[in-house]
Structures are given as structure tokens and as C-alpha cells.
Amino acid sequence: MLLIPCPYCGLRDESEFSNRGEVVVRPDPDAASDAQWVQYLYFRNNVRGWQSEYWVHTHGCQQLFVVRRHTLTQQIERPA
Amino acid sequence: MAKIPFPVRFSAAQLLRAGLNRSWRWPQLWRTPQPKRAYQVVIIGAGGHGLAAAFYLARDWGIRDVAVVERGWLGGGNVARNTTVVRSNYYYPASAGFYQRSVNLFEGLSDTLNFNVMFSQRGILSLAYSPHELNAMARQVNALQLNGIKAQMVDRAEIQRRLPLADLSPQARHPCLGGYFHASGGTARHDAVAWGYARAADALGVDILQGCEVQGFEMRQGKVVGVRTAAGTIGAHRTAMAVAGSSSLVAAMAGVALPVVSHTLQAFVSEPLKPVLDTIVMSGLHHTYASQSDKGELVIGGDSDPYTSYTQRGSFSLIERTTVGLLELFPSLSRVRLMRQWGGTVDLTPDRSPIIDRTPVEGLYVSTGWGTGGFKAIPSGGLALAHLLACDRPDEHSTAFSFDRFARSALIDEGAASGVAH
């Protein structure tokens, strides 16, 4: 069981959370080209290594936050 | 169609002699060749899809100057890490045609490969637990029947007859309301599929190079002209990658980005039991499905881990969730112990449908996005990739699974449409 460091509730079991995938930056809706939208919607870096990703504490405080996790070793960086 | 020149390796007399003579060494089923400097086609990944593509290239297209390069050992990835289910209950016509072709090929696969793949069409029973789920199933069954795929709604009495062990009663935590039966679905021996294709491809002259990791691509004027491996550079007129969960990593070496994320999908088997389950049972509500292998083990699967992972080892929370679901369905299995557990790295596309296409880089072809259902697709996917490599265009069953469908928003959203554990 992974322990996810919720910035509000502390270390909690992964089953309380939902993963929302790697951090992606939304392009400017007024200026983005079709290609940029396609990139944003569908393409991911899918790294084997350290990844910044969103988690939601679904069965807890409901907050969305970013965690750095290693996708091969499952190590999670403790927030400073 | 080429006849496959299988050498005679075993006979009853040989078996008898082997039993008496302990120094007997079984002959190898395939060669361990030295890599040539160049091949017409190089396929990266000696899994089910790569080996099947090599076999069909050699048999149907007469292209035998083919190498399949593999970092580990053949059939050691997802083809060895699945739950062996073969089915074609897909919603959209493009998928229905593609996966039904796979089921049809599985029906003759033991003969084709001269290798018993133990394909057993024991049927798949999917269960519904709410009127809404039952309605969605009726819609699904209508779509399947229109596509000529065997499927019919079944009531609770019929389900109880097929699943005597299941608790379907109104007193159960989730009372079952009905379901549907997909009669042509079944299971096959997963290793035999990999070994059968490997042996047949080898007999036709394909070089299978195990322990030969691809470390980069040879590029000339923006075109892929070969692969750099631990055993040196191997030239290729056309290069294909069929590397499942490693797709993003291999494609990145050629500068190609893929709309794929890698997750762990795990499964487990129980200790062997006497026959208790002669069909495959799937429950979307319980996030679990199970069948019983010929050895008596219950083969249990569920959802993939819900985050990017390359570990090939699943999370404990998913094991808990899947087994809890199984026990709600079959309370009498509560004392059965799990024997083994494994995980594979699956390549998921946004619409849960595969990509079989050219890449933006000339000379490089891709078969990816098989996600959590790659095993069942091996014959059809192999045929499609072989056609693509031979003709430089997809065959009639795989035109919809193009690389550019995301840019065109022409998704084949099976993840949402099929309503099954993918």
C-alpha cells in the first residue's frame, strides 16, 4: 500500500485517493492551436522515473495536490 | 499459403527412450541465431504480437528475412502476465470486426501452429446489479448481435444454474438482477501461444534474437534504417515496435511521442481446487473477473492500478479490492488461499483502443495501445502488423486504429462503450 502525503491530512493509504495523472499545463484557450490541444488532451510523457502527478484525497479532505513519485520504484518524495 | 516445415522432434519411441535414459536432452524448439548485419524487417519485442507478426510476414507474405529482437526472453512480458481470456464482446463495429477475427483465428490456432494452445470456448458471463446496468447490457448485447457476435441476455435463474457457487440471492450485499452470456469467449494457454508462434516463425526462417536490447535507432536523413542493440547495429528496411508497456520509452528513442500511459495490471491465482467454475465470470460492480484453469487454480483479475507504473508488480490495495469483490460474489471461497500474483505493464491509450500504424518517422511502424486486452488480440494484431509491414498500409480491419485518430478526434472509445473490465 502506498502512503500518499496529503498536505492537509498527512500520510494516508493510497486507497483513500484518486490519481489524476501527470501534471500537464493547459494551453491558453484563446491562443492555442489545434495541435497544442491534441497534445494537452491525449499525449503524456509517461516517464520511467520521477514524475510530478496530481492526487485527490477523494475519501478525505477532497483537496487536489501534486506529489512527486518514481514510477519504477514507487518512492514518493516527502514534501519539504 | 506456405507450408510450415516443422522438423520432427518428438515421437512415442523417443519419449519412451527419454523416460529410460535420464541423460536425454530435449531438442530446442527454436534456434539461437547470431544476428545478421541487416534484415528486411526488424520487429522489436518477442511477445505475442511481435512473434505473431513475424510468423504471418513469413507465411502469408513470403518475407522471411525477419528478426525479432527481445531485451529479455521471448514470451516473458505481458503474454505471460495476463488472465488468458479471449473474447470479442466489443461495442463499436471497428473493434467488433477486429476482435472477432481474433476469436476466429484462435479457433484454428492449434492446427495453424501445430502446437496445442488449449483454446477453450467456455463462454463469458457478465453480471448486472442495477436496472441501469441491465439496460446498458441489453444495449451492448444488441450491438454485439448486430455485429454477428454471439451474445444473449440471461436471467438470474440461468446465471445460478451456470454459477452454482455464486451468491445471487436478494440477501446478498449486491443482489444480482441478470446478465449476459458471450458464448464464443474463452481461455487459451498463454505461453503456448507465444511458443507456438515462435516455433512456427523460426521454422520459416525468422531469427529470434533474445537477450538483445534495443538501445537506439539508426537514423539516416530522418528515416529509421535499423536498430542499435547490445549485439551491434542491425540494419532494417522496415522496423516495427511491439513492446507494450515500454512503447513510450522505445518510441522516444526515435523522437516519436505516443498517446500512451503505462500502468500495472495484475492478476493472481488461487491454490488448485476441484472444478467449481466452468465459465468465465465478470462483474463490473465488483471490479473482478475469474475463471478456473485446467490445473484447478482460480485465475482472478481486476482493474489496473490507477497510476503510471513500470514496476511489473501490482499494488496491495488492488489485490484487496479485487479479492473482496470476488468473495462477495463467491462467499464460499473465503478460505481459499492465493498462490501466486503477478503484474504486467500495460500500454493504455485515451480511448482504450490500439494503434497499428506508421509513425511520423519514416521506416518505423508501431503496434501499441493493447492495454489490458492484448492477449486476445494476438492473432488479429499479428496479422494486421504483418500486413502493415508488407504493404505499407493497414489492412481492412485496422484502418480505424490509426495514429492520427486523436488529432482528428475520431476516437474508438471502447473504455466507455464496452462497459467491461478492459
pLDDT tens for residues B99-149? 999 999 999 999 999 999 999 999 999 999 999 999 999 999 999 999 999
**B1-10, B35-44, B54-63, B391-400: which range is least confident on average?**
B1-10
Report pLDDT for B422: 45
Contacts of A47 in chain B (CB under 8 A): 308
Q: Are B90 and B151 in contact (CB under 8 A)?
A: no
Measured between CB atoms, does A30 come within 8 Å of chain B? Answer: no
Contacts of A14 in chain B (CB under 8 A): 315, 317
**B131, burial (CB in 10 Å: exposed 0-12, middle 13-18, buried 19+):** exposed
Nearest Cα of chain A lies from the Cα of B114 at a distance, in angstroms, of 39
The ranges assigned to domains in chain A are 3-77
Mind listing the pLDDT tens digit for each residue in B357-413? 999 999 999 999 999 999 999 999 999 999 999 999 999 999 999 999 999 989 999
According to CATH, the superfamily of the domain at A3-77 is Folate-binding superfamily (3.30.2270.10)
Mind listing the pLDDT tens digit for each residue in B135-173? 999 999 999 999 999 999 999 999 999 999 999 988 999
Measured between CB atoms, does A22 come within 8 Å of chain B? Answer: yes
User: Percentage of residues in chain B with pLDDT exceeding 90?
Assistant: 86
Mind listing the pLDDT tens digit for each residue in B301-357? 999 999 999 998 888 999 999 999 999 999 999 999 999 999 999 999 999 999 999
pLDDT band at B253 (very low <50, low <70, confident <90, very high): very high
Q: Are B45 and B344 in contact (CB under 8 A)?
A: no
Q: Are B263 and B315 in contact (CB under 8 A)?
A: no
What ipTM does this complex have?
A: 0.95
Contacts of A13 in chain B (CB under 8 A): 317
Sheet holding B261-270, edge to edge: B152-154, B178-182, B124-128, B280-283, B288-292, B298-308, B261-270, B338-348
Report pLDDT for B17: 82
Measured between CB atoms, does A71 come within 8 Å of chain B? Answer: yes
pLDDT band at B416 (very low <50, low <70, confident <90, very high): low
